[in-house]
Chain A
Amino acid sequence: MTKLILYSLLLALGGLSWQNFSGNISPPKHFPEWVYPFDKNPLTKAKITLGRVLFYDPILSRDSSISCASCHAPFNAFAHSDHALSHGIEDSIGRRNAAALFNLAWQRQFMWDAAINHLDMQALAPIQHQDEMGESLTKVLEKLTRSKRYQQLFEQAWENQAISIPKMLKALSAFQLSLISAGSKYDKVKLGEAEFNPQEKKGYQLFKLYCNRCHQEPLFSNYQLANNGLAIDSNLMDYGHFEISKNSKDKMLFKVPSLRNLKYTIPYMHDGRFNSLREVLRHYQQAHPYISPSTDSILKKGIPLDDIQTTDLIAFLNSLNDLAFILDPKHRFPKILLQK
């Protein structure tokens, strides 16, 4: 009985804190529990606003030319569609395709090689990378502390506490956590608000047969590492997670991306080598010679899809595009940055 009362109390408290932290976001009903520790970084409107301004402000880069949004644009589901590899300061080009940013509260590891273990620490990598923003944390803190705009925004977000790098990181997390994509046709079907057409239904069956193991619904990724049989690019020589672990078993292991919003996140793969979904599916249809021990077993023989099935599958994948997310004004460039 005591246990029951305690459990009920915990549920009640959980519900209360849920309301508090959600602020202007809410968890989709058909999604699993999120994994981000919101108790350590409760979301508030002021924190999300600060994070949004930081995200779009090139002040974080050494020459004030590149912001997070330079490679993670809202109209591309916070990826970048113009080029295969990310661009940085002084015309530098990185080694990887900028990943789309949404539904980050359900992810435990970040970057294509899963090098980062917490969303709060992710921004440290691009800010300090010489081919991205190339700035030191000391300089970032100096610039933020000098800015009256940021003095005010940090005060609002943290009740007059001093500006610091951990607070900046948590604010960037707050904004990125607010990027929830759950408004696609698929989501409406799951919530009983729409129905798939016959072609999408066939595509959904094919998806469940061949894709769902790694691209698990409703997030359309298990956010684990996988080798999808891609050959190494001889220029980039990017071995994925192996570069972190130095364990040969980890060669060509990359984080499985979500299949949501594919319409907006061209090109595909960690190095942006494919420019259409047909190219991607052609890769998966082939039993190519680059199979390694870590390659997912379902891909070893190639996925047997004929042209009609390919079209059906693409029709289903298109039902995962979330235009409402793409056009959400809460995610866009903040006008405050136009003011001096």
Chain B
Amino acid sequence: MLYAQVPVRATCFKQIIKPQTPISKEGEAFIQIDLLRFYISHCYLYRDAQKIGGSTDSIYLIDFEQPKPVQFELDHPNLVPNRLQFCIGVDSISSCLGAYEGALDPLNGMYWSWQSGYINLKLEGTYALNQQKEAFQYHIGGYQYPYNALRTVELDLEAGLDFILCLKVDLLLELWDWKQTKQLMRPCLSALRFADILAQSFEISYD
């Protein structure tokens, strides 16, 4: 069996996000990300309509402080994939099965304690605006109807397996209109909208 590793990266204004490091926009400090974690699950590689590989673990917790790649097991190594499909978040079945070790360990801080359910994405940080700082905190999750925030993402691949999965945080915050809502920490309609935007904020990079 052959395996392939796909790095996952988070960027903001084309800069790789690093802990406690301000990110500048047009030469000035603009934003600092203090926490960025999210779940990726049900990852598959396709050649047209044929599934040719899947991730070796069913769920990955991506933490921008300690980024780990997603490992794929290739069922058809002779076929070059041209599409990646994955989910952002933890599905409703896994959310109801009790305590797990590993990525789903509640110790990772991605499980709500006041109600059941995993937080699909945590994004926390500070904006620096006109020398004033404004904190933001987004905990996006929800596994039950009508607030199921799990989202499926499909991205085209152009150059086989030599790619990086990239979350563009600047695009996410721009689409979200961060000036309107700087705190969101429960399953609700706004969280669903955030989840929709999050799904649009991934891209494939080849650098």
Contacts and interface: CB of A to CB of B under 8 A. Distances in A.
Q: State whether these chains interact.
A: yes
Given A115-B114, A246-B188, A138 B98 contact: no
A166 B105 contact: yes
A170 interface: yes
A169 B100 CA distance: 10
A57 B98 CA distance: 23
A116 B107 contact: no
Interface residues of A, number: 27
Contact of A121 (B101, B106, B188): B106
B115 interface: yes
A115 B105 contact: no
Interface string B99-122: 111000111010101111100000
Contact of A118 (B98, B109, B114, B188): B98
Given A37-B98, A40-B97, A246-B188, A116 B105 contact: no
Contacts of A173: 98
A295 interface: no
B152 interface: no
Contacts, number: 62
Contacts of B95: 117
Contacts of A244: 115
Contact of B113 (A37, A120, A129): A129
Contacts of A64: none
Interface string A62-103: 000000000000000000000000000000000000000000
Contact of B99 (A115, A127, A141, A170): A170
A288 to B, nearest CB: 30
Interface of B is mostly: loop
Contact of B97 (A118, A128, A164, A169): A118
A165 B116 contact: no
A137 interface: yes
A49 to B, nearest CB: 19
Interface string B113-138: 11111000000000000000000000
B79 interface: no
Nearest to B96: A117
A173 B101 CA distance: 16
A141 B100 CA distance: 15
A124 B106 contact: yes
28 contacts: A37-B98, A40-B98, A116-B115, A116-B116, A117-B116, A117-B117, A118-B96, A118-B98, A119-B98, A120-B99, A121-B98, A124-B113, A125-B113, A125-B114, A129-B113, A137-B106, A137-B107, A137-B109, A138-B107, A164-B105, A164-B107, A165-B106, A166-B101, A166-B106, A169-B99, A170-B98, A170-B99, A244-B115
Interface of A: 37, 40-41, 115-121, 124-125, 127-129, 137-138, 141, 164-167, 169-170, 173, 244, 246
Given A125-B114, A166-B100, A244-B115, 10 more contacts: A40-B98, A41-B98, A117-B117, A118-B99, A119-B98, A128-B113, A137-B106, A137-B109, A169-B106, A173-B98
